[in-house]
Structure 1
Amino acid sequence: MTTTHVLDDYYLAITLLISVAYQLFFFCIAFGFKFDKVTDFAGGTNFVLLAIITLALSGTHHARQIVASLFIMVWGARLSAFLLFRILKTGKDDRFDDKRDKFFSFLGFWIFQMLWVWTVSLPVTILNSPNVTRFHQPHFGRATDIIGVIGFAIGMIFESVSDVQKYRFKNSEEAKQPGAICDVGFFKVSRHPNYFGEILIQFSIFMIAVTPASAHYVRGGAYHALYASMLGAWFLTLLLMFVSGLPLQERPGAKKRYEKGVGWPEYATYLHRTPILIPFFPSLYARMPVFLKRTVFLEFPMYVFDPAKHSD
């Protein structure tokens, strides 16, 4: 098979156009019928669609391309399936209560989702593009490949298992008790093990995709493009750490518990013993100096709730 050139030699334009069209299609359904059940499904399956199309257009099926494409497909399919199952059970998504009837506010979310999918897909998109596949690929199995495969496996276990653990906890009798804390399974060693897994997955896929550049098989613009595709993993990391993930859950969640006055001492102990993101032993983390928690374990002051400063 021969490589198909479409719009540009890195497949950036075609993948962006596909993402825009795919998300607008589901946006019309969601806005027209006030239907929350397709929103996250559209995001996860978009990754699968882009990986399949770019791999098919590439005309070459090197082991590295297949592995990287398959990994992002597995991740996207698992994520969309779980979120679809969860929304079918809950019935609606509370995130859109103030946007569902407002055209431009609701559309803004979908535009952001387009950019999220396109950006996070960059390592696979560029790896499958004509400007990279024209170079000879190194044998799959180098150190970065092995690290990437191991990292992906660990990330998938953390993300998928913790999603199930949290879902089961929320639907348990224990969760109905005032001040209940989700400290089951992976939540014993990380307050957000699903985020840790998701970040690890994306950096692992990047490591696999960038091997031809790091091994000096790929030269010129393709070399720089592969390294630049790290933007996808960093975009997702910054999104979870500073925009829509931890900032919306950490301090606001602690503030809510404190002001309700139910189970706050127990929750404060949980915060003290459990890392915010990177898994670690609770007994050791509890004795760790604050400086190390703020630097090595990324528990930045913006996440910390101080009753004297932040409570009403």
Structure 2
Amino acid sequence: MAVYVLDQYYLAITALVTTAYQLLGFTIAWTFQFDKITDFTGGSNFFLLALLTLLIGNEFHARNVVASVLVMVWATRIAGFLLLRVLKTGSDNRFDEIRSNFFKFLGFWLGQILWVWTVSLPLIILNSPAISDTTRSGSSPAFGTSRDISGIVLWTLGWLIETVSDAQKFKYKMAKDKPKDKPVLTGLWKWSRHPPYFGEIICWWGIWILCLSPTTNGTLSSSSKSAQYGAIVSPLLTLILLMFGSGVPTAEKPQAKKFFLMSYGNNAPEEHAHAWSNYKNYLRKTSILIPIPPVIYKPLPQFLKKTLLLDFPMYQFDERKDGSAAIEQARKDSV
């Protein structure tokens, strides 16, 4: 029998556990001023919530077990990879400007609480008594429907894209003989400028679809149905964060700035003279998110790239405005 803890959807207990876990991570990271556990704490929190709700929910139907295992596999992979990456690099430059500021650094961790808890909602609700109570009178949740298969296929596709592309880029960055005047052009990175983000988005759409729980001899209450469909905020938040928050926006212009300064910055080495033209050619032929073969993407009209294919103007590096500012900042930094 499922254990009721604070509320029938497990919203309060999971919010409390997430808050406590993240604040513990913040205390350690702030005290020792290092980045080794920041991303690991975020990823591993998903594993903790999946296991916790599965065990206290005490409903080991196929859907509950499969969905929980998929989330735990995703969490283990991303937490382990991000920990390995930061151990190899030594620090995470995303936190250079906020690491020593208590309130800014705390703000990041508070945002991580909201991210973990909100994105975990489909599984939290599925494992809760609000859903499992429907099956206790002898009915059992139908599993193996076309919707279930669609969710598992989406998760598998997303997980493979995210895993393979992360490994490809990590291997490229660790190589000593990589060309410095060209972006990553190996594997999935030939087809997308941000394949791990695409994979993560697909993963969480798959989890949400899988966690929608039909039953064979019973129906969910209207409130339980609303909760399950309302958990669509999970994949939507993932999409919004990666497209408009901490994902693509924090990668596109900084990378463009790097290649621009290679060619036009103060004391730019002659061997990097073609870095900016190489990068602009890369932009023309490589989709920003959805993996598309360059031979198909390159000739597509600009209006299609900047609308349906998501390469919005906000991501564009303006050579005149952004380039001049980058050169001026580099000049000040060198003084």
Q: Compute the RMSD of aligned alpha carbons.
A: 1.6
Q: Normalised by the size of structure 1, how large is the TM-score?
A: 0.95
- State yes or no: 1:241 paired with 2:243: yes
Structure 2 CA distance, aligned partners of 1:163 and 1:132?
36
Structure 2 CA distance, aligned partners of 1:251 and 1:90?
22
Aligned-partner SS, 1:210: coil
Measure how far apart 1:282 and its partner are: 0.6
- State yes or no: 1:165 paired with 2:168: yes
Q: Answer whether contact 2:134 2:218 (CA < 8 A) is retained.
A: no
Structure 1 CA distance, aligned partners of 2:61 and 2:74?
20
- State yes or no: 1:219 paired with 2:221: yes
Corresponding position of 2:308: 296
Structure 1 CA distance, aligned partners of 2:279 and 2:218?
50
Corresponding position of 1:250: 252
When structure 1 is superposed on structure 2, of 12-21 and 250-259 the one drifting more is 250-259
Measure how far apart 1:178 and its partner are: 3.3
Corresponding position of 2:83: 84
Counterpart code for 1:231: V
Alignment of 1:43-54 (within 5 A): 43-54=42-53
Aligned-partner SS, 2:211: helix
Corresponding position of 2:13: 14
Q: Answer whether contact 2:126 2:213 (CA < 8 A) is retained.
A: no
Counterpart code for 1:155: G
Structure 1 CA distance, aligned partners of 2:253 and 2:191?
19
Q: Answer whether contact 1:55 1:128 (CA < 8 A) is retained.
A: yes
Q: Answer whether contact 2:142 2:214 (CA < 8 A) is retained.
A: no
- Change in CA separation of 1:191 and 1:254 when aligned onto 2, cut-off 3 Å: same
Alignment of 1:131-280 (within 5 A): 131-136=130-135, 137-175=140-178, 177-212=179-214, 217-261=219-263, 262=272, 263-280=275-292
Unpaired runs of 5+ residues, structure 1, are none
Q: Answer whether contact 2:181 2:262 (CA < 8 A) is retained.
A: no
Measure how far apart 1:216 and its partner are: 8.6
Structure 1 CA distance, aligned partners of 2:180 and 2:35?
29
- Change in CA separation of 1:24 and 1:254 when aligned onto 2, cut-off 3 Å: same
Measure how far apart 1:28 and its partner are: 1.3
- State yes or no: 1:66 paired with 2:65: yes
Measure how far apart 1:60 and its partner are: 1.0
Q: Normalised by the size of structure 2, how large is the TM-score?
A: 0.88
Counterpart code for 1:70: V
- State yes or no: 1:306 paired with 2:311: no
Q: Answer whether contact 2:198 2:290 (CA < 8 A) is retained.
A: yes
Measure how far apart 1:237 and its partner are: 1.0
Q: Answer whether contact 1:206 1:233 (CA < 8 A) is retained.
A: yes
Aligned-partner SS, 2:193: coil
Structure 2 CA distance, aligned partners of 1:96 and 1:194?
21
Q: Answer whether contact 2:131 2:220 (CA < 8 A) is retained.
A: yes
Q: Answer whether contact 2:253 2:316 (CA < 8 A) is retained.
A: yes
- Change in CA separation of 1:217 and 1:183 when aligned onto 2, cut-off 3 Å: farther
Unpaired runs of 5+ residues, structure 2, are 264-271, 325-335
Aligned-partner SS, 1:36: coil
Q: Answer whether contact 1:138 1:217 (CA < 8 A) is retained.
A: no
Measure how far apart 1:87 and its partner are: 1.1
Measure how far apart 1:250 and its partner are: 1.2
Counterpart code for 2:281: T
Alignment of 1:117-128 (within 5 A): 117-128=116-127
Corresponding position of 1:104: 103
Aligned-partner SS, 1:10: coil
Measure how far apart 1:102 and its partner are: 2.0
